[in-house]
Structure 1
């Protein structure tokens, strides 16, 4: 059940649109009860959203970070290099959503499945590459469709392959900079997929041209991918097969020396990875997040979410802005508006776990596809609840599809138990979504959007929140995203054809 942060408004349930300001009837509490959150704890939790996008089990990035950090300690790297290894490996997939739509377009398949399985293949071997493509191009489709997909992949060739990696790595490095990590950490993310012998992407860097943090992160993620299926010795065996080609020989040798460290490998299967991460985080880089850094992290992950599909370009930012506008109309204090903006930025984290085959489908989703879409608030909740002090913001952010009449999802919470902030966010989300283009319809004009919101007052939406949205709209303009979306789609198509 979603926690009640503020009393439900009787006007919402009755469908009233009386202009009563929230501050006159309720005193909402802060969503963030404690902003003294350890940075590594917060980013480790958020990295599970990146695991979703990559089709990996939760904790993939955290376990990769532990493996890379263990090797960094064994090799005696200085503290600054170990800090780069720690954060670059944990956040190695920051750019992963930026090529999801491209992956789906090229393969005609679930981007998460393609991304997961490609990590298990030596794509530099022609036979392995052919077998992978044959198994993953338009699975289940007719012969004509598959032939067309094969032709598209053939046309894109190595250039398209490089572009997929380049988009991902460059975007990840950019977000590392936005999070104010040092340039050395950003470069480590950028060079994640380079190989020791120069056969990787995106630049073909080789040997010591590749930052040591990138060399360790690339090795660690491969070991982690094979760990569950092959065990520690089997995973290390894969690394040995790629010694001198994919991976620096001395790093593989150091990894082999860890093969008999059973306690370490056993600990990777525990659920409490955060305790282990705290042990490996270099002491000089340990810190708690302040308010400004918390904002930056929320903004960064909103960009990761919105990059998943050209049709959701800046959706999270738009929802956050509308929510703040509604909150201001309702009289929320500035500190609460700041928290509300963060909830808006993070509300769709779980969409990283939804296939682009569904998100970008040029037609209305089927019932089965809607069922998959409806899982995203639950995914968001699971991610945010990994940070203890995010419990309240999780309750609000993940209730944005709940309805006053209890027919929403995923908890089917009724208005009596829905916090005002969640009811407000629900209006902001629908308002932004309706005015934006979707693959199966154009963005709606404001008058039609307003009519839809008003028609669902009392059943889905709080009347005061809808009225506040209208009042805010009269004072401002919802910037159309049509041009931005078209630019994104043109960029997407232009980079792969």
Structure 2
């Protein structure tokens, strides 16, 4: 279905104060960009997969609705990948042991996000050989073709990789494209549906097909496509389901950060309520908490899991994550304070934080709340360089930061008053199940 068709009930003229306008194509593009960060050097993989899948679908005469669907499925196909080591396998070899794990993980993420759930099965089977898929008679024949098309163009992009260097497409691809097609033809009937390979070969005859994947041109194409789709007005529940998907991808980056974003979101919402913020603000601060670490997908696994002190270069790498978060969210929520609240969670009241170096008067209460919730939860969680602290040890550290003038005293006072609840939200085994029941529905 089209990105807008699954939600026809969302009428922009009936938007309430709590609803948020969102261009779903832009949101998927931003999420695809965040997946690019996982590969460090491999950028725009999801966008190229979506671009190629859409071109082949159009050549096959698929309807507009299905062409949009395959574009977005291609952009989301690696939503189950958070770790650099896994990403390297996916982008360096045509097949490898364990490749199905990220398909299952990504499908599980999408399944509980209704606005994107129609991509679940494509993602689940996008690394399944055609020789296996065509025997799976329980699957819809159209789904088998859609999943296999994503697999085909995903592997075509692996073969294209040697001609993508330093953010540019090597012009030599015009002479090398035929070798890529022939490699894929040799896999027809085993990995790929022969009819799909024939369609890809026909599309790939055009130099324009390949040159359209020049990074600058590809970004322009994605932006132009976004202008063709009207914004949806999503309810807080729908936005939360989408943000939960994003947060699960981020938190899967390391076992040391498991559930961190969801727990920060729950604590932030609770503290904002204790400080008298209205319901609309509670909904948005929860979203900002869920999304505050989006930029960490860019940080190499070995830095996040390093047991010792970070080098100067490693600190620089990890310190940029909040700005990357801000830029990603600015694409998704351009008319809300969510990018600012999430992107500024490492600012402090002395003006010595990052990435904006904001002074106290420039830092919203909501950002101050997320900052406190982030520190509180992180200190109650095991990290590779230290064991978790007790609740009282954490409060002593946080109150010392208030004494230094770094954290907001009113927010920390609320944390002290709500201490037992916040400890439960930060580390309780059943806290996430109770706060986010949609994940266990």
| Paired residues for 1:233-382 under 5 Å | 234-235=176-177, 237-243=179-185, 244=188, 245-269=190-214, 270=217, 271-278=219-226, 288-291=232-235, 292-382=237-327
Residue 383 in structure 1 maps to residue 325 in structure 2: no
Query: Given the alignment, which residue of 438, 446, 463 partners 2:409?
Result: 463
Q: CA deviation at 1:178?
A: 1.3
Q: After the TM superposition, which of the residue ranges 287-296 and 299-308 deviates more from structure 2? A: 287-296
Number of aligned residue pairs: 394
CA distance in 1, matches of 2:365, 2:425: 26
| Cα deviations by residue, 1:200-243 (Å, 9 ceiling, x for unpaired) | xxx9x99x797211111122223344165353663563243122
* TM-score, structure 1 as length reference: 0.71
Is contact 1:173–1:189 with CA below 8 Å preserved after alignment? Answer: yes
Q: Secondary structure at the match of 1:385?
A: helix
Q: Secondary structure at the match of 1:456?
A: helix
| Cα deviations by residue, 1:300-342 (Å, 9 ceiling, x for unpaired) | 1111111111111110011011111111121110110100000
| Paired residues for 1:20-35 under 5 Å | 35=20
Residue 36 in structure 1 maps to residue 21 in structure 2: yes
Is contact 1:384–1:390 with CA below 8 Å preserved after alignment? Answer: no
CA distance in 1, matches of 2:246, 2:316: 24
Query: Given the alignment, which residue of 91, 98, 123 partners 2:76?
Result: 91
Q: CA deviation at 1:367?
A: 3.6
Gaps of 5+ in 1: 1-31, 101-110, 125-160, 485-497
- Corresponding position of 1:219: 152
- Corresponding position of 2:120: 186
CA distance in 2, matches of 1:483, 1:385: 33
Is contact 1:236–1:255 with CA below 8 Å preserved after alignment? Answer: no
Q: Secondary structure at the match of 2:375?
A: helix
Is contact 2:247–2:262 with CA below 8 Å preserved after alignment? Answer: yes
Gaps of 5+ in 2: 1-16, 165-169, 431-441
| Cα deviations by residue, 1:65-95 (Å, 9 ceiling, x for unpaired) | 1210121121022456445423321210111
| Cα deviations by residue, 1:424-446 (Å, 9 ceiling, x for unpaired) | 11111001101111122221111
Q: Secondary structure at the match of 1:321?
A: helix
Change in 2 beyond 3 A, CA 1:239/1:178: farther
Change in 2 beyond 3 A, CA 1:307/1:459: same
Q: After the TM superposition, which of the residue ranges 219-228 and 167-176 deviates more from structure 2? A: 219-228
| Cα deviations by residue, 1:86-144 (Å, 9 ceiling, x for unpaired) | 332121011112xx2xxxxxxxxxx25x62465243457xxxxxxxxxxxxxxxxxxxx
CA distance in 2, matches of 1:413, 1:312: 27
Change in 2 beyond 3 A, CA 1:302/1:246: same
* TM-score, structure 2 as length reference: 0.80
Q: CA deviation at 1:46?
A: 1.7
| Cα deviations by residue, 1:140-179 (Å, 9 ceiling, x for unpaired) | xxxxxxxxxxxxxxxxxxxxx22xx232111111112112
- Corresponding position of 2:11: none
